[in-house]
Structure 1
Amino acid sequence: MNKEEQLGILESLLFAAGDEGLSTKQLTEVMEVTYIEALNLLETLSERYEESPASGLVLLELAGAFQLATKKDYAPYLKKLVEAPHATSLSQASLETLAIIAYKQPITRMEVDEVRGVQTDGPIRTLVARGLVADKGRAEGAGRAKLYITTNEFLDAFGLKSLEDLPKLAEQSEDTGQDELDLFFDRFSQKEEKE
């Protein structure tokens, strides 16, 4: 495998790792490279981002982990994106992630990943940006992962007075045979269509 392929793999891994980033140890294990090779690849990728005026990304090292981040120069545009009213509906991945958080809160991202069977970093960022989910402290134990809960905006968006109003998961709708979770998604989709 040549260096360009390795850089592509590195970039993909950093993107997939999201806010948690990756340590050099993780990179050496996943990419099957030496520590020095991993450092050289990280340095090369970092230099490419810094030297390219067309790139909106930078490579950061925080608390021993490397992660991709956006350049500070573009912060005003990112702020507009987060603050702008969202005309688009939530993706299926975001809805599934939101339902898991709603029913199992407080919950860590890794626990949500286990339930969904895929990474949920992107959907959680979307939900936080929309104010439907918030960080509620840290879990006990190794790593002290962030705990996520739903917000009052979540309750408003779904027309709920409290979390006790969430549909019960074990029940089935006799009329349609739909699972209550499907009804939960349908309810949100219909509300968005009206707006």
Structure 2
Amino acid sequence: MIFKSEGRSKILDSDELTGIIEGILFGAGEAIGLNDLCRCLDKSPLEIRFVMEILKQDYQDKARGMRLVQIKDTYQLSTKPEHYDYIREVLKHKQSTGLSRAAQETLAIVAYRQPVTRLVIDELRGVSSSSAIQRLLDRGLISDAGRLEAPGRPILYKTTPEFLRSVGFTNLEEMPEFEVFSQGKQEQFDLNGIETNNKQE
């Protein structure tokens, strides 16, 4: 098997390819299309589907906390439904903690560029934003705004009424002027008030 990377070709066995695809699905945090995987990895649909069957069988083990979800020709990693109660319990205790720098940066981008895809957020921040986006979704500060009419139909994100309530605005027009980026460097957007407002209520 051949995997193209940085203009070079590397021979991969099935275990390596399985690990790469698993990493892609985990890092993406959303459904990835079969065609996108084929193009990225320079593999045929048959090869990708073979790896997906390996992953699917692996995740069926009761000891695994993840599952592989397939909807038509898209694949996504998800937690198993039987573990939701435990996940909610952990997240409930994390609600009182503040937003990380990554989450603040991500929220600022969504607020000023919405609706926006994860790929755009990643490009603006220069790093993966999957975990930050999930954190903001868990907090109810951003939500799914549909899908972009583009290859792969990536998810669009927007802020929620909870975000406006938390920062003390009644609508998006009240938000201050903000130059998102200047030569690749993001200006500060102070969101510490979110925690203060939430605690006061």
TM-score (norm 2): 0.74
Structure 2 letter corresponding to 1:35: P
Cα contact 1:89–1:192 (8 A) shared by 2: no
Q: How does 1:135-174 map to 2 (within 5 A)?
A: 135-140=144-149, 144-170=153-179
Cα contact 2:29–2:77 (8 A) shared by 1: yes
Cα contact 1:22–1:65 (8 A) shared by 2: yes
Range 8-17 or range 158-167, more displaced: 158-167
Range 137-146 or range 158-167, more displaced: 137-146
Task: Report Cα offsets for 1:24-69 as digits up to 9, x if no partner.
Answer: x33333334443332222111111111x221111112113111111
Structure 2 letter corresponding to 1:47: Q
Partner-residue secondary structure (3-state), 1:182: coil
Bigger proportion of residues as helix: 1
1:31 to 1:104, Cα distance in 2 relative to 1, 3 A: closer
2:46 pairs with 1:40: no
Q: How does 1:24-35 map to 2 (within 5 A)?
A: 25-35=35-45
2:191 pairs with 1:182: no
2:22 pairs with 1:11: yes
Deviation, structure 1 residue 124: 1.9
Bigger proportion of residues as strand: 2
1:29 to 1:141, Cα distance in 2 relative to 1, 3 A: closer
Taking every aligned residue pair, what percent have the same amino acid on both sides?
A: 35
Partner-residue secondary structure (3-state), 1:95: helix
Cα contact 2:33–2:152 (8 A) shared by 1: no
2:6 maps to: none
1:163 to 1:61, Cα distance in 2 relative to 1, 3 A: same
1:117 to 1:187, Cα distance in 2 relative to 1, 3 A: same
Partner-residue secondary structure (3-state), 2:64: coil
- Paired with 1:27 and 1:146, the residues of 2 have a C-alpha distance of 17
Q: Structure 2: give runs of 5+ residues left out of the alignment.
A: 1-11, 180-184
Range 101-110 or range 53-62, more displaced: 101-110
What RMSD, in angstroms, separates the aligned Cα atoms of the two structures?
A: 3.2
1:28 to 1:96, Cα distance in 2 relative to 1, 3 A: same
Partner-residue secondary structure (3-state), 2:188: helix
TM-score (norm 1): 0.75
Deviation, structure 1 residue 183: 5.1
1:32 to 1:135, Cα distance in 2 relative to 1, 3 A: closer
Range 69-78 or range 137-146, more displaced: 137-146
2:71 pairs with 1:62: yes
Q: Structure 1: give runs of 5+ residues left out of the alignment.
A: 171-178
Higher relative contact order (CA 8 A, sep 6+): 2
1:145 to 1:29, Cα distance in 2 relative to 1, 3 A: closer
